Structure 1
Amino acid sequence: MESSAHSSGPTTADETKIRIACVQMQPALGNVEANVAHSIGLINRAVELGAKLIVLPELCNSGYMFRSREEAFAASEPIPTGPTVKAWSEIAARHRLHLVAGICERDGAKLFNSAVLIGPAGTIGTFRKVHLWNEENLYFEPGDLGFPVFHTAVGRIGMAICYDGWFPETYRLAALQGADIVCVPTNWVPIPGQAEGREAMANILAMAAAHSNSIYIACADRVGTERGQPFEGQSLIVGHTGWPIAGPASRDKEEILVADVALGEARRARNWNAFNQVLRDRRSDLYDEMLGSDIKRGWY
């Protein structure tokens, strides 16, 4: 298992850098107990590398390629009372961590492809995938929580899942609410027309979004092939300038990427020069300032 670290730019005396880790792993379809145990081992490895904010892949407790809603339902659990979140909360408390991880969430009779944000004191918040991909539409409900940004001890954290990253609104609405970083549990698949050896399209989209919003983006992908579907790997951490500061990881190996960042630098750096600030320069006289969303605007 490989790791990489990067120190990103100078910081002010009152701003401490934290180490972010993206864990690239391979879950086993339907084997929740084994997947959670495997994730705990990888979290412990990231802790040994000094990580304080850790991101795990999409649906990393359940696997992805369900054949039926019944199969997805059997691998689901509620947040925060299910055994997966309890296990992740215990390790977050033990190591004083913040953790973002993809989970198959059950809420009554509804299923959601979700990500949970956990801190040292327990569950902080949940994101439910807004834009469902392909047959996810057969099993999951579209996310109904919008794009929340959570104020934590380490910074302002937004979340997105996989296909959400194809929509610029995802990152823009997070930035407008003051996000320093968007953490992205994901299960990227090959895109038609992708030339041999080219980086994942998702890498390019994440770099563009980080640059155009001046935010950090941390993407944790899975690897392996599940019921004939290969996954892309290539997890990465992108700095607020849009350039990768860790990764991309390999296409086929479990890895942990790490990067040292001062998250508040993302907001400070939005003033690009004496004239331009990437969010302030939006022409809200010509288009809706919040893209039609009714969420409360934050600071930028």
Structure 2
Amino acid sequence: MSKTIKVGLVQQSNQAKVEANIEKLIQNIESCAREGAQLVVLQELHNSLYFCQTEDTDVFDLAETIPGPSTERFGELARRLGIVLVTSLFERRAPGIYHNTAVVFEKDGSIAGKYRKMHIPDDPAYYEKFYFTPGDMGFKPIDTSVGRLGVLVCWDQWYPEAARLMAMAGADMLIYPTAIGWESSDADDEKQRQKDAWVISQRGHAVANGLPVISVNRVGHEPDPSGQTNGIQFWGNSFVAGPQGEFLTQAGNQEEQNLLVDVDLARSENVRRIWPFFRDRRIDAFSGLTQRFLD
């Protein structure tokens, strides 16, 4: 039996004006809904520029409580359009405690659940540890009317353990709102290797877990406010992979684009029957995974 849902992905470029970004998001979400999308997924930190290129205490003013203004606005949009919506917000939890948080809205506008980004990078132009406290909610799928969503965020996508734990908890699909790109000083061949590694890693999660993977990245150039680098050219390439890692749809790396694709969630059952990776896992020999390193 097929259980097919239509998924919309919004790959967007952003500017400094938050309201302009949100208005464009709303238009793109509405466009996906008109095309029949039942589930719409947005990119990481979609309300603003990717502010982690520098460390600036004033940026914390962008953060919001959950519930708060953005959850009210996007929740009402989900209700009006009758869609499940995956958003990515800068959460103010308490003074001095902020999270990079994905919020999922049910089609009635209610908050179905949220996920706080667990793995926090700290690299040149990606100074996220300055802003975000690591998540403390674990790897738990969010139940919605379109299925159990294994929502993770960006840097989480490099960790097979995160994908596996979501799958083991019963996720029907893995979803990655993302903000990743190139520093312009990198050579072209290095840029290609970086993008290919990003794609391969997530397709690998699809294969290893027998699940569809939805990855939504931002696109366009965002300057470095400090002027220390040439900024980030976000590489887009948002895509959906099926449970054998096959591309179901893929965007380009230069343009804003809305993708719509049918995803058959029931196909995972058939794939897991012919590739029974879960059956053959040697859980008796995996205790070392809870250690930092095996000396």
Q: Normalized against structure 2, the TM-score is what?
A: 0.86
Report the CA distance shift for 1:68/1:197 in structure 2 as closer, same or farther (over 3 A): closer
Deviation at 1:232, TM superposition (A): 1.1
The aligned counterpart of 1:3 is: none
| d(CA) in 2 for partners of 1:263, 1:288 | 31
Deviation at 1:85, TM superposition (A): 1.3
Deviation at 1:262, TM superposition (A): 2.2
Instruction: Give the partner amino acid of 1:263.
Output: L
Residue of structure 2 aligned with 1:233, choices 232, 236, 254: 236
Report the CA distance shift for 1:151/1:127 in structure 2 as closer, same or farther (over 3 A): same
1:51 aligns with 2:37: yes
The aligned counterpart of 1:182 is: 174
Deviation at 1:173, TM superposition (A): 0.4
Instruction: Give the partner amino acid of 1:131.
Output: H
Instruction: Give the partner amino acid of 1:77.
Output: E
The aligned counterpart of 1:86 is: 72
The aligned counterpart of 1:71 is: 58
The aligned counterpart of 1:113 is: 100
| d(CA) in 2 for partners of 1:215, 1:194 | 32
Matched pairs, number: 273
1:282 aligns with 2:281: yes
Residue of structure 2 aligned with 1:123, choices 89, 92, 111: 111
- Of structures 1 and 2, the one with the larger relative CO (CA 8 A, separation 6+) is 1
Q: CA RMSD in A?
A: 2.0
The aligned counterpart of 1:132 is: 120
Deviation at 1:102, TM superposition (A): 1.3
Deviation at 1:268, TM superposition (A): 4.2
- Structure with the larger strand share: 2
Unaligned runs of 5+ in 2: 224-230
Q: Give SS of 1:269's match.
A: helix
Residue of structure 2 aligned with 1:142, choices 124, 134, 137: 134
Report the CA distance shift for 1:142/1:235 in structure 2 as closer, same or farther (over 3 A): same
Unaligned runs of 5+ in 1: 1-11, 294-300
> C-alpha offsets along residues 240-259 of structure 1, whole Å, 9 cap, x if unaligned?
11111001x11121101111
Contact 1:178 1:267 in 2 (8 A): no
| d(CA) in 1 for partners of 2:256, 2:15 | 13
The aligned counterpart of 2:208 is: 212
Residue of structure 2 aligned with 1:169, choices 161, 167, 183: 161
| d(CA) in 1 for partners of 2:4, 2:286 | 36
| d(CA) in 2 for partners of 1:282, 1:16 | 27
Contact 2:101 2:114 in 1 (8 A): yes
Deviation at 1:233, TM superposition (A): 0.6
> C-alpha offsets along residues 92-111 of structure 1, whole Å, 9 cap, x if unaligned?
11121111111111111211
Report the CA distance shift for 1:160/1:193 in structure 2 as closer, same or farther (over 3 A): farther
| d(CA) in 2 for partners of 1:88, 1:43 | 10
Deviation at 1:200, TM superposition (A): 3.6
Deviation at 1:197, TM superposition (A): 5.4
Contact 2:139 2:166 in 1 (8 A): yes
| d(CA) in 1 for partners of 2:219, 2:121 | 18
Deviation at 1:179, TM superposition (A): 0.8
* Percent identical residues: 34
Instruction: Give the partner amino acid of 1:17.
Output: T
Deviation at 1:47, TM superposition (A): 0.9
The aligned counterpart of 2:217 is: 221
| d(CA) in 2 for partners of 1:111, 1:62 | 16
Contact 1:72 1:104 in 2 (8 A): no
Q: Give SS of 1:146's match.
A: coil
